[in-house]
Amino acid sequence: MSLKAENINETTRWQDLTEGLQIHEPATSKNFETGEWRTNTPVFHEDLCKQCLLCVPYCPDSCITVKNGKRGDFDLKHCKGCAICVAACPFNAITMKEGK
């Protein structure tokens, strides 16, 4: 996992890092852009979407945006490409493509 330079404290000594780089503070996941792990990318087909929002609670990384009660595109900075959303969508409005 790479961190952007702005998130790295250059003065942190290696001795001060937690074992396994575990995170012990809440609500820090937005600081780590884990989408770079992805080998497959979800594709949202808005024309097929019926706005049932069934995909939203299934996403383990909360990568499906919802605004004003409507589903938006994916937050690819955090999506790992697990394809759970594809299985959850009854309207085939989500497919996967190979690569980033």
Q: Is the alpha carbon torsion for 59, 60, 65, 67 positive or negative?
A: positive
pLDDT in tens, 4-38: 545 555 677 878 777 777 766 665 566 677 777 78
pTM for this one? 0.66
pLDDT in tens, 70-96: 999 998 888 889 999 999 999 999 999
Q: Which two tokens stand for residue 95?
A: 């497919």
Task: Look at domain 5-98 and name its CATH class.
Answer: alpha beta
Is the separation of the CB atoms in 80 and 37 below 8 Å? yes
* Percent share of the chain, pLDDT over 70: 79
Ranges of each domain in the chain = 5-98
